[in-house]
């Protein structure tokens, strides 16, 4: 069974790990040779013993509770700051009104007239008491305002300290992930096996050679200029989030199954429904008939100035190839994951139970200047920000 403690690392580090410096075409060729050597030596199977993995799991588990609490504390502090600011604004407004009223009463002797205008002793006492309450209330509001300002300042200091602590823990997690080497890919449902990674690396190298890249040239200097998308669009015209991002347990083909789902599953659009690019970009990898994930597409895109990799799996048809430049209006394939694609029906996909799209996003460019390692893609995966919560429908790409 896959270890929950190891999976937690992916939840914590996504979206925060730093992207590797841009590499060259020569770097990609050297990585291809390393993959081929890794396959020859079967290092995926031999890289770590179970005892070593368990020891690493313990390190991660020991640090996790501190990181989780730091995140909770940060969120609480942020909420308190918002609440304090709202109270401060409300208190300022009310105090200002009371001060104006007080000044008017003083300037026009209205306060004295109000008190001396009492018709009876009881009325006089009540009027004096009313004025006293107004003045006391004003003083109380001023003190409350001062207290909230001090509390807000203290929360700001506390928040900064918590963020520094969290960043230190993230560094520890990153070191642990590096120690785990290739084992992250074993935790997820849809994977690129080493043969698929070698094939994808060959195709992207061929693409960069075809557009004139030199071995000593940075990828960013010779790659196609990517459009900076202003927003994300959903990958299908409609859909239902049938499985969410994160660790999950369910039954697959009648047996218990556990994995880390570094994407969301989109059902409800039907077999063969069109799949769109969620943002304009360049196709960097296409995988056909993977034993787990079926047909897959990987696209590098820039959204609001940040680099991302968009990935799709369980596709019935693929309409793009490596090097294609697509827009957010282009149909890149169709929804699969069911029917004749299933292993139980004589197909190739062993880890799907019905028609749906496996849709994910990761920080940085996979195979395009930021990193080549599929395990890094897994570690950098984030929940697609444009998708609704688990169990909800959407009926538009916008």
Looking at residue 366, its pLDDT comes to: 93
CA distance linking residue 366 with residue 284, whole number of Å = 8
pLDDT band at 9 (very low <50, low <70, confident <90, very high): very low
Q: Using CA atoms of 385, 389, 394, 398 in order, give the dihedral in degrees to the nearest 10.
A: -20
Place of tokens 């509001």: 141
> Which of 282, 291, 164 shows the shortest CA–CA distance to 222?
282
CA distance linking residue 3 with residue 260, whole number of Å = 10
Collapsing DSSP states into helix, strand and coil, what is residue 305? coil
CA distance linking residue 100 with residue 102, whole number of Å = 5
pLDDT in tens, 113-145: 555 565 666 666 665 666 666 666 666 766 776
**pTM surpassing 0.85?**
no
Average per-residue pLDDT for the chain: 77
∠ CA 189-194-199 to the nearest 5 degrees? 110
CATH code, residues 16-45+189-394: 2.70.70.10
Residue 298 has pLDDT above 70, yes or no: yes
Q: What is the mean pLDDT of residues 303-312?
A: 95
Count of helix runs (H) and strand runs (E) in the chain: 9, 14
Per-domain residue ranges of the chain? 16-45+189-394, 72-180
Is-contact 224 325, C-beta < 8 A? Answer: yes
Is-contact 1 255, C-beta < 8 A? Answer: no
Collapsing DSSP states into helix, strand and coil, what is residue 117? coil
> 331 vs 99, 318, 326, CA distance in Å?
64, 9, 9
The residues near 261 (Cβ < 8 Å, ≥ 6 apart) are: 188, 189, 243, 244, 245, 246, 247, 248
Residue 310 has pLDDT above 70, yes or no: yes
């Amino acid at each position: 069974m896959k270890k929950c403690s190891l999976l937690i690392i992916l939840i914590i580090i996504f979206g925060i790990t730093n992207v590797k410096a841009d590499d060259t075409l020569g770097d990609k060729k050297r990585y291809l040779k390393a993959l081929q050597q890794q396959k020859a030596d079967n290092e995926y199977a031999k890289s770590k013993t179970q005892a070593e993995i368990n020891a690493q799991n313990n390190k991660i588990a020991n640090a996790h509770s501190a990181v989780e609490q730091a995140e909770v504390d940060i969120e609480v502090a942020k909420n308190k700051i918002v609440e304090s600011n709202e109270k401060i604004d409300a208190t300022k407004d009310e105090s200002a009104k009371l001060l104006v009223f007080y000044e008017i009463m003083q300037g026009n002797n209205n306060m004295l007239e109000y008190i001396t205008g009492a018709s009876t002793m009881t009325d006089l006492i009540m009027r004096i008491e009313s004025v006293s309450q107004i003045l006391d209330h004003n003083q109380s509001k001023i003190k409350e305002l001062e207290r909230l300002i001090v509390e807000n300042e203290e929360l700001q200091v506390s928040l900064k300290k918590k963020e520094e602590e969290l960043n230190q823990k993230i560094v520890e997690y990153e070191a642990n992930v590096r120690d785990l080497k290739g084992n992250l890919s074993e935790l997820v449902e849809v994977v690129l096996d080493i043969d698929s990674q070698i094939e994808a690396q060959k195709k992207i190298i061929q693409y960069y050679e075809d557009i004139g890249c030199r071995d000593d040239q940075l990828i960013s200097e010779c790659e196609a200029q990517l459009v900076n998308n202003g927003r994300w669009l959903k990958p299908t015209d409609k859909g239902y989030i049938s499985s969410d991002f994160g660790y999950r347990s369910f039954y697959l083909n009648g047996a218990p199954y556990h994995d880390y789902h570094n994407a969301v599953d989109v059902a409800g659009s039907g077999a063969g429904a069109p799949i769109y690019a969620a943002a304009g970009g360049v196709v960097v990898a296409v995988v056909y008939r993977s034993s787990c994930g079926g047909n897959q597409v990987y696209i590098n895109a820039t959204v609001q100035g940040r680099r991302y990799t968009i990935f799709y799996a369980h596709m019935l048809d693929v309409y793009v190839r490596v090097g294609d430049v697509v827009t957010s209006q282009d149909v890149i394939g169709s929804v699969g994951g069911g029917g004749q694609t299933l292993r139980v029906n004589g197909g190739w996909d062993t880890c799907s139970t019905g028609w749906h799209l496996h849709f994910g996003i990761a920080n940085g460019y996979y195979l395009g200047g930021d990193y080549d390692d599929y395990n890094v893609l897994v570690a950098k995966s984030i929940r697609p920000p444009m998708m609704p919560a688990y169990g909800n429908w959407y009926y538009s790409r916008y």
